[in-house]
Amino acid sequence: MKSLNKVQSHLIAECFNKLYIGGQFVDAIDGEKIPTYYPATGELLHEFPRGKANDVDAAIAAAEAAWVEGTWAGMSAAERAEIVIKMAQGIEDNIEMLAEIEAADVGKPYRQAAMTLGGAAGEGKYWCSLGKVLDAEQDVPVNSGGGEGGVPPAEWDVVYRRDPIGVIGLISAWNYPMNVAFRKVAPALVAGNCAILKPSEIAGLSCMFIGKLAQDAGIPPGVFNVVTGDRDAGAALAASPSVSMISFTGSTLTGSKIMGACAPKLSQVALELGGKSALVVFDDTDLDKAVETTMKGFLANGGQICTAHTRLVVQDSIEAPLLNKLKEELEKLPFCNDPITEKDRGDRAWEDGMTDVVQPVVCDSQHKKIMGFLHEAKAAGVEVLTGGDVPDDATVGNSGGYFIQPTVLINVERDADVWQKEVFGPVLSVRSFSTEDDAVLEANSTAFGLASTVMSSDPAKAMRVANRIRAGAVFATSTGEGLLAEHPAVSRGGFGFSGVGRELGIGGLHEYTELKSVNYTGFSLADTKKKHTG
Ligand code: NAD
C-alpha cells in the first residue's frame, strides 16, 4: 500500500530503530525485534527493538549517573522548562510525520492523530509554564506565626521545598501514544527527575521520537532514556530498587501488578488506569443530541479511550426512541479503510460532536479480546441491537484489517462482563432507569471510576446527579458538549479500579516531586542567600 510505504520511509530514521540510553541511540543488547502491523490491513508496518531487563538496567544506570552528577536537578525548574519546551515545539514541528506514524501504528484517522498530537505539544508547553510556579514553591516559609499550636515554634524556622524524586520509570499505553507518554515525560523532567520511558509494544513508535527530541533539545545525557520492549521490560523497570517512582498509564490489571512490584521498596506510584464510564441520559434531553453524544462517547478513537462512555444509562421513557435512532445512525457509518490518508473524516467528534467514521481496532490480540467479549455475551443471551460481529470484507475493502462493527448490547444484566469489564473497543452496553436514585445506582455499579456524563436540560438535576457519581472527572451537560474533553490545567484521575494519583494541573506536576520541610535555626533565610566569601 502506497500510504504505508510513505510511513515506512519515516521509520528508517535511527530513533525508530534503536533504544535511547545515556544520550546515544544504541541497539538492544540481545538484538531482538518486535513486529507491528497496520491495523487497517494487517500488513507489517515496522520492527523495533525488544529491549529486555539488561537494556532496562543500562538505562537505569545512565539515569542514576545523571542523577548523582546532579546538573539537571540542580537547575531551576524554569531553566529546565526552557529546554523541555524545545521538545514540545519539536512535536509541533513534526506533526505531519508523527500523525502519519500514529495513524499507521494505532489505526486512527490521520485527522484525529494530527489533532491530538497538537494537543500533546500544547500540553507540553503548559507543563513548561509551570516551571516558574514550581520555583516559587521552593523555600516557602511555613509560617503561622508561632505561639500555641502554631508552626513553627518560636525557637526555629521551617521552609517547604518540592524536590524531584530521583530516577523514575514512565510506562505508557498505546491508544494516544505521544499524548500519554509526553504527559509523563514533560512534568517529570520539568520537576527535575531523571527518567526512563517504556512505551507500549502494541503501538509506541511515535514515542521513540521523544528520544530524538530530547537529544536535539540538549537534555543532558542520561536524564532521559527510552527503552522499547514488552511487558518484561516494564516489569524490570518497576521492580528495580534504583527506580523511586513509576508513573503508569494502562490497564487496571497491570496497574495492580506494578503497585505490587513497588510495594516491597515502598516506591511511589501514579496509576492512570481503565474505565467503564456511564453516560446518563434523562428524558428531558434533546434526542438528537443524546444520540450524537452516545455515539461519540463509545466510538471516538474506536472506543479505545480510557474515558470512553461505554455504558448508556437511559431513562426508560425515552429508551425506545433513543435506541431506534442510535441504531439507524450507527448502521449508516462508513469504515475507515486507510487511516493514514484519512484527512477529512475521523472523529469530528472532537470538534463538532459528530462521529463520522469507524476505525479498526489496534491489533489482532485486541480484536480477538473484543470479539471474545461479544461471543460470550451472545452465548449468555445478551440482546444485540446492532453490530456484534466483524464487517464483511466488501464493506471494509480488504480482509486483513482488525475491524469490528459498532455494537450496541441492550437489556444487559448488571453483573454481565460487558457491563462490569473494560472491553476497550466499539461496544456499548445499555441499561435503563426510572428514578434519579436508580440513575445514580446504575452509574456507580462498577468498580471503575474514571469519568461519567449526565445529560439533562434541568441544570439542577444534572449537577445533583453529577455530584453523586463516583468518578474522577464528571460532566454535566444539556448538549453533550465537553464530553471526553480535558484541559491541561484541570487535574484528573480515577476512583477505585481507575487509578491512584492525579494527572494534569499543578497537582499533576506535584506527583513528580516530594514535599520536604527544612528546619533551620541560628540564622535567617536572608543569610542563606549571601554569597560565600571564604
Ligand atoms: P497494558 O496494561 O496492557 O500495558 C500498558 C503498558 O504496561 C505497556 O507499556 C506494557 O508493556 C506495560 N506492562 C505490561 N505488563 C507489565 C508489567 N507486569 N509490569 C510493568 N509494565 C507492564 O495497557 P494497554 O493495553 O497498553 O492500554 C490500554 C489500557 O490503558 C486501558 O485499560 C485504558 O483504559 C488504559 N488507559 C488509561 C488512561 C488514563 O488516563 N486513565 C489513558 C489511556 C489508557
Query: Ligand 1 pocket, 238 CB below 6 A?
Result: yes
In this predicted structure, what is the pLDDT of residue 157?
83
Q: What is the mean pLDDT of residues 451-480?
A: 96
CA–centroid distance, 383 to ligand 1, in Å, is 30
Q: Is pLDDT above 90 for 1? A: no
Mutate to test the pocket of ligand 1, among 183, 231, 240, 503 (most ligand atoms within 8 A of CB): 231
In this predicted structure, what is the pLDDT of residue 397?
78
Residue nearest ligand 1's atom 18 by CA: 235
What digits encode the pLDDT tens for the residues 403-462? 999 999 999 999 999 999 999 999 999 999 999 999 999 999 999 999 999 999 999 999
Q: What is the mean pLDDT of residues 316-332?
A: 97
Mutate to test the pocket of ligand 1, among 200, 310, 491 (most ligand atoms within 8 A of CB): 200
Query: Ligand 1 pocket, 106 CB below 6 A?
Result: no
CA–centroid distance, 493 to ligand 1, in Å, is 15
Q: What is the dihedral of CA 461, 466, 468, 474, to 10 degrees?
A: 180
Mutate to test the pocket of ligand 1, among 202, 306, 361 (most ligand atoms within 8 A of CB): 306
Query: Ligand 1 pocket, 308 CB below 6 A?
Result: no
Q: How far is CA 151 from CA 37, 139, 140, 158, 404, in A?
A: 60, 15, 13, 8, 61
In this predicted structure, what is the pLDDT of residue 149?
61
Query: Ligand 1 pocket, 258 CB below 6 A?
Result: yes
Query: Ligand 1 pocket, 419 CB below 6 A?
Result: no
What digits encode the pLDDT tens for the residues 33-84? 999 999 999 999 999 999 999 999 999 999 999 999 999 999 999 999 999 9
CA–centroid distance, 78 to ligand 1, in Å, is 31
Q: What is the residue type of 211?
A: G
In this predicted structure, what is the pLDDT of residue 124?
98
In this predicted structure, what is the pLDDT of residue 13?
98
Q: 345 versus 200: which is more confidently predicted?
A: 200
Q: Is pLDDT above 50 for 310? A: yes
Q: How far is CA 54 from CA 231, 237, 248, in A?
A: 14, 10, 21
Query: How far apart, in whole angstroms, are the C-alpha atoms of residue 206 and residue 196?
Result: 16
CA–centroid distance, 204 to ligand 1, in Å, is 12
Query: How far apart, in whole angstroms, are the C-alpha atoms of residue 350 and residue 117?
Result: 13
Q: Which three cell numbers stand for residue 387?
A: 453490530
Residue nearest ligand 1's atom 13 by CA: 231
> What is the residue whose three cell numbers read 529486555?
52
In this predicted structure, what is the pLDDT of residue 534?
47
Cβ(336)–Cβ(86) under 8 Å?
no
> Confidence band (pLDDT; 50, 70, 90) for 153?
low
Choose the catalytic residue: 123, 272, 442, 511.
272
Most confidently modeled range among 110-114, 190-194, 336-340, 390-394: 190-194
First-last CA distance in the chain: 71
CA–centroid distance, 411 to ligand 1, in Å, is 30
Q: 60 versus 151: which is more confidently predicted?
A: 60
CA–centroid distance, 237 to ligand 1, in Å, is 14
What is residue 217's three-state secondary structure? Answer: helix
User: Phi/psi of residue 228, each to 5°?
Assistant: -80, 155
Query: Ligand 1 pocket, 51 CB below 6 A?
Result: no
List the one residue out of 362, 413, 72 whose CA is nearest residue 220. Answer: 72
Q: Please say if 306 is a catalytic residue.
A: yes
What digits encode the pLDDT tens for the residues 393-407? 888 877 789 999 999
Residue nearest ligand 1's atom 39 by CA: 272
What digits encode the pLDDT tens for the residues 357-380? 999 999 999 999 999 999 999 999
Q: Is pLDDT above 50 for 9? A: yes
Q: Please say if 47 is a catalytic residue.
A: no
Choose the catalytic residue: 306, 319, 329, 342.
306
CA–centroid distance, 283 to ligand 1, in Å, is 37
In this predicted structure, what is the pLDDT of residue 418?
98
Q: What is the mean pLDDT of residues 295-313?
A: 96
Cβ(214)–Cβ(21) under 8 Å?
no
In this predicted structure, what is the pLDDT of residue 400?
86
Query: Ligand 1 pocket, 307 CB below 6 A?
Result: no
Among the residue ranges 145-149, 212-216, 302-306, the one predicted with the least confidence is 145-149
CA–centroid distance, 424 to ligand 1, in Å, is 12
Measured at the alpha carbon of residue 185, what is the angle toward residues 179 and 188, in degrees to the nearest 5?
Answer: 135
Q: What is the mean pLDDT of residues 324-341?
A: 95
Q: Which atom of ligand 1 is nearest to the CA of 251?
A: 32
Q: What is the mean pLDDT of residues 170-180?
A: 98
Q: Is pLDDT above 80 for 531? A: no
* 379 CB neighbour count, 10 Å cutoff: 8
In this predicted structure, what is the pLDDT of residue 145?
55
Q: Which atom of ligand 1 is nearest to the CA of 250?
A: 30
Q: Is pLDDT above 70 for 156? A: yes
Residue nearest ligand 1's atom 38 by CA: 306
Global pTM?
0.96
